[in-house]
Structures are given as structure tokens and as C-alpha cells.
Amino acid sequence: MKRNQLIVVLTVLITALNTSCNEPITADYSKIAGVVYNADMYKDQIDSVYAKVYYDSIDTQYFSFITSVTIAKAKFHDGGFALQLPALSYGKLCYRIDKQFPDSLVSDKSVKYNSPDLFCIKDGYRRGFLLSQNNYNLTDSGSVYCEYIYCDKPVTVTGTTITNNSSYKITTEYKLSFVKGWNIWTIKQRSNDFEARYYHSSNNIPADVKWHLKN
């Protein structure tokens, strides 16, 4: 190999190594695989699971029209399912993240996002929806609820908000860091009856969280 060719090859290799070392390593959260809690009770009520998102297909000064679209489907078998979530196009990312967290510090207020709802289907008809949580009611201290969220750009959300009315006071803490693409966020009850909640981004779904079917 000639000297000039060797220099070019080495330069390309060094550039590739530097690039791969500098890029952050992120997990792939586009795959949802889960087992439905008490699945034997529902084996005759579910044949598939659909993931849907909602967005404003028409938005004017006077009215908006909400549209839903199925973004992923999976067969229900052996009490569970495995969904592959696609990247969402710009039109389906109609929600601004600073509107979701109006009293928190948002690193980029232009970021748009959406979160899917998971529905159980039998013979083409909706039989209920699935929630990822560690108990059915979510009112006890230590209760955990998980959601998937797609962002069009990286963003962080931090802060604490307090909601007061005549019957209750809710303190909510946010510590979220989302990448471009699919993410997981977790909501944890720190006291009974939603008096204190903690939102944070997560690398995985906690082991005690299960998919619960609700009608």
C-alpha cells in the first residue's frame, strides 16, 4: 500500500473511532413487550393490542379537530404482546412540551411530543386499554405508573409545582431528560391520594410494574 493511501485509511479510521466515542449511547425504547396482569381472565376478550396517538388534524382560530391513528399492532398471545413503535412524523407531534409542563424549567420550549395509548382489541372492537403500573388504583404511596413518550428533539424538564384548591394540595417534582425518539418516563406516588408525585425519565420499566387492563 502506498504511503498516501495508508494515511487516508488511518485518517478515516481515527475519525470513525472519535465519532463513535463521542456519540451518546442510548437504549432503544421503541419496543414494548409486556405480559398482561391476570391474563388468563382476558384470553377470550383480546386477540391483539393497538398503539394509537392523537393529534390535531385541523387547528384553526375557532376550532380544532382531533384525529387518532394506529401506529403499531401486535398479536396477543401467551398472555402478552410485543409492539414495535415507529418514529413519529412531524404532523403527529402536535403537542408542545412546555405546555405540558408550564411551571417547570424546559430546556427547549420548541420540542414537540406525543404519547401512545394502548388498546386491547377483539374481533375489531375495543375491549379496554392497558396501563403500565405496579397496582390497579395508583392511590397508595409507592405506586408507580410508566408511559412512553416520543420527542422530536432532546429536552430536559426540571422543577417543582404545587397545586392547591379547597380540598387538596398536590406537590409534583419533575426530573426528566428525553432524547430524540422514544423515551420512558415514570410517575411515582410519594404519599397517599396523589398528595406528592415524582416524575422522572427512566432507563427501564421497574420490575414490579405490570400491564393492567382497564375497561
> What whole-number distance in Å separates Cα of residue 113 and Cα of residue 110?
10
State pTM to two decimals: 0.78
Domain boundaries, the chain: 28-214
- Write the pLDDT tens digit of every residue in 170-214: 888 889 999 999 999 888 877 665 567 777 887 777 788 889 888
What's the mean pLDDT when you consider all of the chain? 79
pLDDT at 9 over 50: no
pLDDT at 16 over 50: no
Contact 182, 157 (CB under 8 A): no
pLDDT at 23 over 50: no
Give, as one character, the DSSP assignment of residue 52. E
Q: What pLDDT does 45 receive?
A: 85
Q: What pLDDT does 51 receive?
A: 95
Q: What pLDDT does 84 receive?
A: 95
Residue 182, CA atoms < 13 Å, CB-side half-sphere: 16
Q: What pLDDT does 27 receive?
A: 62
pLDDT at 19 over 50: no
pLDDT at 10 over 50: no
Q: What pLDDT does 7 receive?
A: 34
Query: Position 27: which residue type?
Result: A
User: For the residues 14-20, what does the mean pLDDT come to?
Assistant: 31
> What whole-number distance in Å separates Cα of residue 123 and Cα of residue 48?
9
Rounded to 5, what percent of the chain is helix, strand, coil? 15, 50, 35
Q: What pLDDT does 25 receive?
A: 39
Question: What percent of the chain is predicted at pLDDT more than 90?
Answer: 32
Q: What pLDDT does 119 receive?
A: 94
Q: What pLDDT does 207 receive?
A: 81
Q: What pLDDT does 66 receive?
A: 79
More confident residue, 196 or 16: 196
Torsion of CA 194, 199, 203, 205, to 10 degrees: 20
Contact 187, 137 (CB under 8 A): no
Highest mean predicted confidence (pLDDT) among 64-78, 158-172, 182-196: 64-78
